[in-house]
Amino acid sequence: MRYRELGKTGLKVSEIGLGGEWLERHNTEEVKAVIRRCAEAGINILDCWMSEPNVRSNIGAALKGQKEKWIIQGHIGSTWQNGQYVRTRDLEKADKAFCDLLKRLDTDYIDLGMIHFVDEKAEFSKIMEGEFLSYVKELKARGRIRHIGLSTHNPDVARLAAQSGVVEMILFSVNPAFDMLPASENLDEYFKDEYGENIGGIAPERAELYQICEQQGVGITVMKGYEGGRLFKAETSPFGVALTPVQCLHYALTRPAVASVLAGFDTPEHVDEAVAYETASEEEKDYASVLAHAPRHAYSGLCTYCGHCAPCPAGIDIAMVNKLFDLAQMQNSVPATLRAHYEGLTRHADDCVKCGGCEGRCPFGVPVVTKMEKAVKMFH
């Protein structure tokens, strides 16, 4: 298992994580079996947004004696009222639910205290300016949470969070289908059967979000990486082609700032399917060729940092140069950290011999030679 820094939190998380939602369907022993397999595979991050008491107790039982090995994302504002889940900003109810989470997980703190499910900009502003954030900050000051996070499906809200100076990491929905869509405050928009004929490539606000998070040191953990399993079948995929779990994971893990993809597992075998990413070949990870030849909504002209351009005869890491160039483009001047990262590369854009081999291999028709020329000027 490979591990990544989660922004500036100082935490190192496994690039494959556990999203706990599917565990609601299972009994104590089945939950223990899934979490045991995760631990054996080196998975060390778990998201528990669910407020249902039994699943919290089952997860707590599975973590007994090994809590210190896990990084827990626990949600603040996810409550259980009258036998059902309710998202709330009522402090009394939110605090009761949070204390219940700590009790059922048998811990006195949560590593990542997530402000739960904020998809509207107006609600984000209200939270940031009101008593709910004060409560979350108090939890951190008391050591009940170690870091402040926020979960959202809306890139506009995620961008505001990343720029807030308060939110340290974000749980965000990332997959190649969602990435084509403009920001929306309605989650149902992302699960439409058809996306329309004029959609193609990463929506600018999503590309910008990933770059802002990278710049600000705000790490991203990923939910909805498989789009609820819709991407696994051609008939349900908005592209008209099927992707594998490994391809979906590779797409998410090649976005800037992404540290871990939190996948849902029903069985230990599902864990194995995801962890297969760690030993997968480049051909098995290759989502780019699939998307480039999809009958609907193919990406075009945009570098997704997929690595198909390699190998470069001059030894340039083209995907990394493109990523640093894209990050630098957003600034009035190149930040010193970006420049240092670029200068630390073994080969640079000015080593390009303009052979064009990379362009012939690029599934999306990116004008790589031109981008190298622009990068030379950018980092000169």
266-323 residue pLDDT tens: 899 999 999 999 999 999 999 988 888 887 766 677 787 878 888 899 999 998 898 8
Tell me the one-letter amino acid at 35.
Answer: I
Q: Same structural domain for residues 346 and 287? A: no
Q: Same structural domain for residues 285 and 328? A: no
Question: Does residue 310 form part of some domain?
Answer: no
Contact by Cβ (8 Å): 79, 52:
no
Of 258, 292, 326, the one marking the end of a domain is 292
pLDDT score of 199 more than 70: no
The closest alpha carbon to 228, from 182, 276, 194, 178, belongs to: 178
Question: Confidence band (pLDDT; 50, 70, 90) for 213?
Answer: very high
Contacts 24+ apart (CB under 8 A), 196-199: 199/297
Q: Same structural domain for residues 344 and 288? A: no
Instruction: Determine phi and psi for 86, rounding to 5 degrees.
Output: -140, 125
Q: Same structural domain for residues 106 and 235? A: yes
CA distance 271 to 288: 24
Residue-range definition of the domain harbouring residue 338: 318-379
Q: What does pLDDT average to over the chain?
A: 91
| Cis bond upstream, residue 311 (ω within 30) | yes
CA distance 304 to 261: 17
CA distance 262 to 249: 10
pLDDT given for residue 112 in this prediction: 98
Question: Confidence band (pLDDT; 50, 70, 90) for 238?
Answer: confident
pLDDT given for residue 200 in this prediction: 60
Q: Same structural domain for residues 219 and 261? A: yes
CATH number of the domain within which 127 lies: 3.20.20.100
Q: Same structural domain for residues 154 and 264? A: yes
- Tracing tokens 């749980």 back to the chain, one arrives at 171
- Domain count across the chain: 2
Structure confidence by residue, pLDDT tens digits, 117-156:
999 999 999 999 999 999 999 999 999 999 999 999 999 9
Contact by Cβ (8 Å): 78, 85:
yes
Q: Same structural domain for residues 370 and 275? A: no
Question: Does residue 178 form part of some domain?
Answer: yes
Question: Does residue 273 form part of some domain?
Answer: yes
Question: Does residue 231 form part of some domain?
Answer: yes
Q: Same structural domain for residues 98 and 243? A: yes
Q: Same structural domain for residues 235 and 323? A: no
Question: Does residue 47 form part of some domain?
Answer: yes
DSSP symbol at 311: P
Question: Does residue 54 form part of some domain?
Answer: yes
Q: What's the predicted TM-score (pTM) here?
A: 0.84
